[in-house]
Amino acid sequence: MPMKGRFPILRTLEYLQKGEVVFKKSVKIMTVNYNTHGDLSEGARKFVFFNIPQIQYKNPWVQIMMFKNMTPSPFLRFYLDDGEQVLVDVEGKDHKEITNHVKTILGKSDKVLEAEALAKMELSNPANFGPKKYFLRECISEVEGQVPHPGFVPLPKEMTGKYKAKLAANSDE
């Protein structure tokens, strides 16, 4: 079944997770003012179409609002936690330039992101066993090459407890 729409790739989880911009903790609101017609707003329109879903996916607690055709020139405005406002002029820029600029001024740098990912990995050790919600595997029997659960595949006779008990009883006599 084909995907519907102009750019259906924008509606895949893979695309959303590839977003690069992760805002710093102090950014609370992002506002985009752009125009629906005109060459100068072209970059801003593309930014809203292609990059805003990625940004919102990576920053679910940031409020993003779009305003159309309010001012002649397009711009972005960020409202930080301490009341500070950051104004970014976007007139004539390409959408990639805009994302890079936003990433450098208000995004977490690559090093910080890597350190966070590492810390997250350390918390969850893939070698541990437990409930499916928290760990990869519940029992050693789930691993390929290990003895499977007798519920799925009956054990060979020599490994069953009753055979071993019978052997032990026979050898004792």
Partner 1 sequence: MSTRQASVHAKWIIGQVIGTKMKKTAKVRVTRLVLDPYLLKYYNKRKTYFAHDPLEQCTVGDVVLLKALPEKRSKHVNHELSEIVYKVGQVVDPLTGKRVAGKHYLEPLTESTEDTELSLTEKLEQLNITASTPPSTS
Q: Which of 75-83, 97-105, 133-141, 149-157 is the region at the interface with partner 1 (rule: CB under 8 A)?
A: 75-83
Residue 38 in contact with partner 1, rule: CB under 8 A: yes
Q: Please state, in angstroms and rounded to a whole number, the distance separating the CA atoms of residues 27 and 74.
A: 20
- Terminal-to-terminal C-alpha distance of the chain: 70
Residue 116 binds partner 1 (CB under 8 A) = no
Can residue 52 be called a binding residue for partner 1 (CB under 8 A)? Answer: yes
Asked if 141 is part of the footprint of partner 1 (rule: CB under 8 A), the reply reads no
Q: Binding to partner 1 by residue 89, rule CB under 8 A? A: yes
Residue 21 · residue 102 · CB < 8 Å: yes
DSSP 69-100: SSSSS-EEEEEETTS-EEEEE-TT--HHHHHH
Q: Residue 11 Cβ, how far from partner 1 at the closest point, in Å?
A: 4
Q: Does 50 bind partner 1 (CB under 8 A)?
A: no
Helices (H), the chain: 13-17, 42-46, 52-58, 95-106, 110-123, 161-172
Residues at the site binding partner 1, with contacts judged by CB under 8 A? 11-13, 16, 28-29, 31, 35, 38, 52-53, 56-57, 63-65, 67, 69-73, 75, 77, 79, 81, 83, 87, 89
